[in-house]
Structures are given as structure tokens and as C-alpha cells.
Amino acid sequence: MRSSQVAAEAGVNVQTLRYYERRGLLPEPERSGAGYRSYPTQAVRTVRFVKSAQLLGFSLEEIEVLLDLAAGGPENCAAARTLAEEKLAQLERKIASLTAMRDSLRQLVATCGRSRPRRLCPIFDAIETGDQDPVSVP
């Protein structure tokens, strides 16, 4: 398959294919007599795997490990599970952090709705004091 065919079927652009080659995620394809890249049909599946793994939050470094594990057979399933569990734990920590940030912002917005004499602005207070985490709002 030519680069444009692989890219179209995988839903990426040709530059993405070349980048994946440079990163080692895709093996360098054979070249035709005219110098065109000639990918095996498996390349589409590999690129789709990479894109799906990225949507799950895996970095390209982690995806490279997953691709190596996937090529190794069932004995590597435990290692892949460990990576997935680590990613899940990272995402849960990120969700907790984002939830705390959202709750803080909700409190700040609610404070802004008070009458002017009762209005405290923890945003300005936090900026003045250099506190980057204005969580406690009266």
C-alpha cells in the first residue's frame, strides 16, 4: 500500500506515518523501484492501534511498549495489564485533581454573586499572595 492509502484508511495524514516511522512505531516500509514507500496492509492496523491508545491517554513511549508486548504473544498480557492499570491510576489522580479544581472554581464563582460589601475575591487575594491554590473560600 502507498503512504496515501495507509493514511486515508487509518484516518491520519502522511506526515503522521513518517513521524511514526521515525519514532519506530511503524517499521520502515520497503521502497518501490521509483522510490515510493510500500507498506504492508498491517500498517493500517498498527496506526489505528496507536491512535486508539492515544485516545486512552497512552503516550507514544507507552504505546511503543504496548506494540512490543502485542507482538510477543499471550505471555506478555500481564505486562500489558500492568501498564493499563498504571495508566488507569494516573487518570484517576488527574480526575481527582480536575474535580478539586472545578469545585474551587465553582466556589469562587458563587462568591462573586454576593453583594458588593460582602463580596470577597479569593482570586485577587490568591494573586496578591502568590497562592496558586485558592481552594478555601469563605
Tens digit of pLDDT at every position of the chain (138 positions): 999 999 999 999 999 999 999 999 999 899 988 888 999 999 999 999 999 999 999 999 999 998 988 887 667 788 888 889 999 999 999 999 999 989 888 877 777 777 766 666 666 667 777 765 555 544
Parallel, antiparallel, or unpaired: how do β-strands 30-31 and 37-38 relate? Answer: antiparallel
Residue 75 carries which DSSP code? G
* Reported CATH class of domain 1-57: mainly alpha
pTM reported for the whole predicted model: 0.68
